[in-house]
Amino acid sequence: MSNRYDAVYRQSINDPEGFWGEVAEDCHWFKKWDKVLDTSQAPIYRWFTGGELNTCYNALDFHVDHRGRGDRLALIYDSPVTQTIKKYTYAELRDEVARFAGALAGKGVTKGDRVIIYMPMIPEAVIAMLACARIGAIHSVVFGGFAAKELATRIDDAMPKVIVSASCGIEGQRVIAYKPLLDEAIEIASEKPEACIIFQRPQVEAPLTPGRDTSWQEAITSATPADCVTVAATDPLYILYTSGTTGQPKGVVRDNGGHAVALKWTMKAIYDIDEDDVWWAASDVGWVVGHSYIVYAPLFKGCTSVLFEGKPVGTPDAGVFWRVISEHKVKCMFTAPTAYRAIRREDPEAKLIKNYDLSNFKILFMAGERLDPATIQWSENNLGVPVIDHWWQTETGWAIAANCMGLHPFPVKYGSPTKAVPGWDVRVLNPENEELPTGEIGALSVKLPLPPGSLPTLWQNDQRYIEAYLSEYPGYYKTADAGMIDEEGYIYVMSRTDDIINVAGHRLSTGAMEEVLAAHPDVAECAVLGVEDSLKGQVPVGFLVLNAGVTRDTNEIIQEAVAQIREQIGPVAAFKMATVVKRLPKTRSGKILRGTIQKIADKKQFKTPATIDDPTILDEIKTALEGIGLAGARKES
C-alpha cells in the first residue's frame, strides 16, 4: 500500500527539480532562481542558480515581518553549569543579531569575508553565526577550546578578517580559558586576523591585545544595527572543517539557497516539528548538528530551539536531560547515543525520570554514531516514546536515512536508521562500482546529484572534493560507510568501510559485534576493533564499559561477552579478547576514537587527536591493552 513517504520519495528521485522547486517556495527569496538544478559543471552541481535570498532574513526577520510572530520564543538558553536560563523572542534575537552584525561591519567585514567563531555554548555564538549570515560574511565555527595548532590550520585556510571568541568555556566543572589558546593559534598562523572580538564571561576576564582585540560588550555599544544583505543562492554561508586523512582538514562548504530550502523542509518531514513546538538538539555549535539543528533549521521553521550548555551527567546529575525536557516542554529531542549511554550507566534503572513531567515529549532522535539496540530499548522502555535512529554526516548537512515521522512513520528495525530520506538515492556498491543485490554488504553510496543542503564542494578546492568523495565510485558520492539495504528498503549502516575487518578471509562488521556486546545487561557501552594478527590477518578485540554499580567479577563478564559473540555471530569471528575499561576515548561530539585505539593495539606510532574529550583516557586504554598483551605504541612527539 502506498503512503505519503513513498509518493514524496518517488517524486524527489524521479523529478528532483520539480520536487525541490516546489519545496523552495516555502522560503523567502529576494529574487527567484533561474534554474533549480545546474548540471553544467558536473560532477559539481549547484542548486537554485540565479536565486537571491538572505539566510538570516529567513531565520529571523521573515517571522517578524511576514508572519507576525515576533513575540514567539526563538531561543531558550539553558546552562546548568552557570545556573542560567535566558529566553529570546524572534524580535529580540533579530535585534541582537542586527546589532552584532553592525559591530562586525564596523570592523570592516563585508560580503564574502570570513569570520572564525571560537566560542562555547552561549547565545552569543548563535548571534555571531546569524550576524555573519546577515551581512553575507562566511562563518567558520571552531569548537571552543580546540587546540591552538588545530585552530591555526583553520585560520590559515579560511583567512578570516575577524575572529569572534569568548574569555572561557565551561566543561562540566572545569573552566577553560580560551584567550591563551586563541593568542597561541594566531601566533602560529601565517595569516593574521585584522581584529578579534572577545565576549567577556564573568568566570574569566581575558586580557585584550591593544590594537587588535575589542570586548563584545564594547563592540556592540558603538555599533549601528545592520540590515540583511542580499546574497546569491550559490554563495557560501559557512565553512565547517572536518578531519582529513592527509592531516589537512577539509573545509566543507554550505551554500545559502539549498541549505535554507532543505533544512526548513526537514523540520516537519523528518522530525514532525511545527511552528508552535519546542525542539532541542543537544549538540554543540562547533559540530554540524549544532549548525543545522540548533541554529538554522529550527529558526527557518519558526519554532523554539533549546541551546544547552552542560553535560548529560554531572551537571548536576543524570536527570538533567529530563529536567530540560520537562521545564521547557520539549516535544522532540535530538542527541548522540553516547549521551544516553552515559545516562544509562549512571542511572541504569532510570529512577531520575520519575522526578519530571515528560508529558509533552513525543519523539527522541539519535545520530552521530552507531545506535545499538540496547540503548534504543532502554530509552523506549523508560521514556515511552519512539526512539529514531538516523544517519548523516558533516558533509551531507542533514539526514541521508531516517524514519520520516512527519511523512509516514515506519516500524523501527533495531540496527537500521530506516529508509533513505527523500532526495537521497542510496545504493550499495562493490569495489568495481557495481550495485550489489539486496542484503549484501558493500559501500553505501549516493547517486549524484546530491540534494540541496549537502556540500557543493570544499573551500577553494574543487579538485580535492572530487578526489575525496566522487572519484572512487564515479557517478556516486562515497559515504565511506559500509552496510546493506534489505528487501523492504531499510538501510543498515554496519560501520565505516575501514571498520570492516578481515578475519582469516572472512569480512566481518565490528558494528555487528558491538551490537551483541551492548546487549549484555552489565555493559553500558562498548567498542570493537580489529588488531593485526600474524595468523588470521586481523582479530577483533572488545572494550567494555560497565554500568555504574556493577560489582561482579569482570572476568566472568568478559567470558559471557565472548560467549555471546560466539553464539550470535559464530566461531568465525574469532572473538576471544576483551577488556573492561572505565571509559572510552571520544571526540567532544561523542564519537569513539577507534582509529587511535587501533594504533595503540597495533603498536603503531600515534598522535593524540585534537578532537579528544580527555587525553588522559589514552593512557588508561594503553594500560588495559597491556593487560591482555597488546599495547606498545608510543605517542608522536
Query: Residues 220-230: pLDDT tens digits?
Result: 999 999 999 99
The number of CA neighbours under 13 Å toward the Cβ of 3 is 9
pLDDT reported for residue 635: 47
Which of 4-8, 12-16, 477-481, 512-516 has the weakest average pLDDT? 512-516
Name the helix (H) or strand (E) containing 335. strand 332-335
Distance of CA 458 to the CA centre of its chain: 18
Name the helix (H) or strand (E) containing 619. helix 617-627
314-324 core/surface letters (b: 16 or more CB in 10 A; e: else):
ebeebbbbbbb
Q: Average pLDDT, stretch 252-270? A: 98
Domains with residue ranges and CATH for the chain: 4-310+390-483 (3.40.50.12780), 504-627 (3.30.300.30)
455, 470 contact by CB (below 8 A): no
Please tell me the distance from the alpha carbon of residue 383 to that of residue 371, in angstroms, as a whole number. Answer: 17
| pLDDT higher than 90, residue 511 | no
Three-class SS string for 114-157?
A: EEEEEECCCHHHHHHHHHHHHCCCEEEEEECCCCHHHHHHHHHH
Q: What is the pLDDT of residues 183-196, one digit of tens each?
A: 999 999 999 999 99
- pLDDT, greater one: 583 or 39: 39
- Listing from the earlier edge strand, what are the strands of the sheet with 114-119? 213-215, 195-199, 162-166, 114-119, 138-143, 236-242, 250-255
Please tell me the distance from the alpha carbon of residue 597 to that of residue 531, in angstroms, as a whole number. Answer: 10
**Band of residue 245 on the pLDDT scale cut at 50, 70, 90:** very low
Cell numbers 538554522 correspond to: 296
Please tell me the distance from the alpha carbon of residue 215 to that of residue 164, in angstroms, as a whole number. Answer: 10
Q: In the chain, what is the straight-line distance between the N-terminal and C-terminal CA atoms, in Å?
A: 61
Which residue, 26, 27, 45, is CA-closest to 35?
45
Query: If you average pLDDT over every residue of the chain, what do you get?
Result: 92
What angle, 0 to 180 degrees and rounded to 10, lies between the N-to-C axes of helices 554-568 and 510-518? 130
Burial (Cβ within 10 Å: 0-12, 13-18, ≥19) of residue 629? exposed
Q: What is the pLDDT of residues 47-99, one digit of tens each?
A: 999 999 999 999 999 999 999 999 999 999 999 999 999 999 999 999 999 99
| pLDDT higher than 90, residue 597 | no
Q: Average pLDDT, stretch 376-388? A: 96
| DSSP letter, residue 421 | P
Which of 11-25, 142-156, 205-219, 608-622 has the weakest average pLDDT? 608-622
pLDDT reported for residue 587: 77
- 3-state DSSP call for residue 555? helix
CA distances from 475 to 348, 400, 539, 572 (A): 47, 17, 34, 35
| pLDDT higher than 70, residue 553 | yes
**Band of residue 621 on the pLDDT scale cut at 50, 70, 90:** confident
pLDDT reported for residue 505: 57
The number of CA neighbours under 13 Å toward the Cβ of 12 is 25
pLDDT reported for residue 504: 59
**Band of residue 198 on the pLDDT scale cut at 50, 70, 90:** very high
Q: What is the pLDDT of residues 423-469, one digit of tens each?
A: 999 999 999 999 999 999 999 999 999 999 999 999 999 999 999 99
* Bond into 16 cis (ω within 30): no
Q: What angle do CA 280, 284, 287 make, to 5 degrees?
A: 115
Ranges of beta strands (E only) in 471-604 are: 476-485, 491-496, 500-503, 506-509, 523-533, 537-546, 577-580
Which residue, 341, 337, 359, 360, is CA-closest to 350?
341
Please tell me the distance from the alpha carbon of residue 339 to that of residue 345, in angstroms, as a whole number. Answer: 10
pLDDT reported for residue 127: 98
563-580 core/surface letters (b: 16 or more CB in 10 A; e: else):
ebbbeebeeebbbebbbb
pLDDT reported for residue 589: 64
User: In this prediction, what percent of the chain has a pLDDT beyond 70?
Assistant: 95
Please tell me the distance from the alpha carbon of residue 146 to that of residue 139, in angstroms, as a whole number. Answer: 17
Q: What is the pLDDT of residues 344-373, one digit of tens each?
A: 999 999 999 999 999 999 999 999 877 888
549, 558 contact by CB (below 8 A): no
**Band of residue 633 on the pLDDT scale cut at 50, 70, 90:** very low
pLDDT reported for residue 636: 44
Please tell me the distance from the alpha carbon of residue 287 to that of residue 395, in angstroms, as a whole number. Answer: 11
